[in-house]
Homo-oligomer: A and B are copies of this chain.
């Protein structure tokens, strides 16, 4: 987690539109029993690589299939040739980078003496929210609430490795005591917000993580209106983040600006702030790089031959002709073996 936080923070700090090109995520809406989506999130480091995360969001996954709500796969392509060079499971990667982003935003915007973390929603993403925050703050108590009793009760066990004082409490207690509050819910479109504004501390910093669909919001508008609201990636936050609820002039600086100029926003550490985290491709690129580098260093993952590139680039059937003996690094003609690195 420390490496992911460092890589994501570095990606924010060194971000430069000349070298890195981001695309807003787009996708298909799945006609399942509840609204699901499958989206792609491309980012290019000019001259180096293109990373595309494909992420499915299916709220029925845990109950129907026993797999996470968010299933993602991160693929890396070489800018020079167009080759697929790595495929990385994006489930863990997404959870890690989303946690890291909240921790980085909290470092810039929350009260540095924050001691109490509140969590509304206690699924998989809540685990990495708390993990990442625990690396940057001295947390004395964690209050957690979830409408799902199973998730609510099991959270303390799932974060036991952090050695923190974790309490399943009513929503009101989460609201009233949090210095840093993370909303990480699967609330339905039009069913938010997931908390009330009245009890919050004046200096609360909120990481709003759950919004990822038009019409899906977690925070009350009144909280947003009196807070410094920092979106991760504005074009996306306007469509599917808490920023949906705001007029343009009510929206604060983006997280990249905050990380690049922390002094400008220091005064807000004593006031109410919101990180509108929709999750964006720059974070995925950073975590994918960390994971592929770790896999290389530790000899994990699998080298797979995906393309059987012919000896003659102008002959698509060269691979099928037995008279061409295979070269070193190539596979026998006639066999269609893959050639990518799967980490």
Given the complex of chains A and B, what is the CA–CA distance between A52 and B75 in angstroms? Answer: 12
> Does A87 count as interface, using CB distance less than 8 angstroms?
yes
**Contact flags A32-70 to B (C-beta < 8 A → 1, else 0):** 100010101010101100101011111001100111111
Is the Cβ of B300 less than 8 Å from the Cβ of A336?
yes
Within 8 A of B (CB), among A5-46: 21, 23, 26, 28, 30-32, 36, 38, 40, 42, 44, 46
Within 8 A of B (CB), among A55-107: 55-58, 61-62, 65-73, 75, 77-84, 87, 89, 91-92, 95-96
Is the Cβ of B52 less than 8 Å from the Cβ of A54?
yes
> Does A308 count as interface, using CB distance less than 8 angstroms?
yes
> Does A261 count as interface, using CB distance less than 8 angstroms?
no
Instruction: Name the residue of chain B whose CB is nearest to the CB of A91.
Output: B307
Q: Given A40-B42, A54-B52, A306-B89, A68–B313 Cβ distance below 8 Å?
A: yes
A289 to chain B, nearest CB (A): 15
**Interface pick from A120-128, A191-199, A251-259:** A120-128
**Contact flags A128-170 to B (C-beta < 8 A → 1, else 0):** 1000000000000000000000010010001001000000000
For A80, give its contact among B46, B58, B124, B306 (CB under 8 Å): B58
Q: Given A89-B336, A335-B300, A338-B89, A81–B56 Cβ distance below 8 Å?
A: yes
Instruction: Name the residue of chain B whose CB is nearest to the CB of A146.
Output: B314
Within 8 A of B (CB), among A305-343: 306-310, 312-317, 319, 335-338, 340, 342-343
Given the complex of chains A and B, what is the CA–CA distance between A62 and B54 in angstroms? Answer: 30
> Does A220 count as interface, using CB distance less than 8 angstroms?
no
For A313, give its contact among B57, B61, B77 (CB under 8 Å): B61
Given the complex of chains A and B, what is the CA–CA distance between A312 and B123 in angstroms? Answer: 10
A176 to chain B, nearest CB (A): 25
Q: Given A52-B40, A56-B81, A56-B83, A66–B313 Cβ distance below 8 Å?
A: yes
> Does A304 count as interface, using CB distance less than 8 angstroms?
yes
Is the Cβ of A23 less than 8 Å from the Cβ of B21?
no
Chain B residues with Cβ below 8 Å from A302 are 304, 337-338
| Total interface residues in chain A, CB < 8 Å | 80
Is the Cβ of A315 less than 8 Å from the Cβ of B127?
yes
Max chain B C-beta neighbours (<10 A), residue from A58, A75, A315:
A315
Q: Given A50-B28, A73-B84, A124-B314, A307–B38 Cβ distance below 8 Å?
A: no
A90 to chain B, nearest CB (A): 9
Given the complex of chains A and B, what is the CA–CA distance between A247 and B338 in angstroms? Answer: 44
**Can you offer 8 A-B residue contacts whose CB atoms are under 8 A?**
A23-B26, A31-B46, A56-B82, A58-B80, A61-B82, A68-B309, A87-B306, A96-B316
Smallest CB-CB A-B distances: 9 pairs = A56-B82, A71-B82, A95-B316, A73-B84, A338-B342, A62-B313, A28-B44, A158-B315, A89-B307
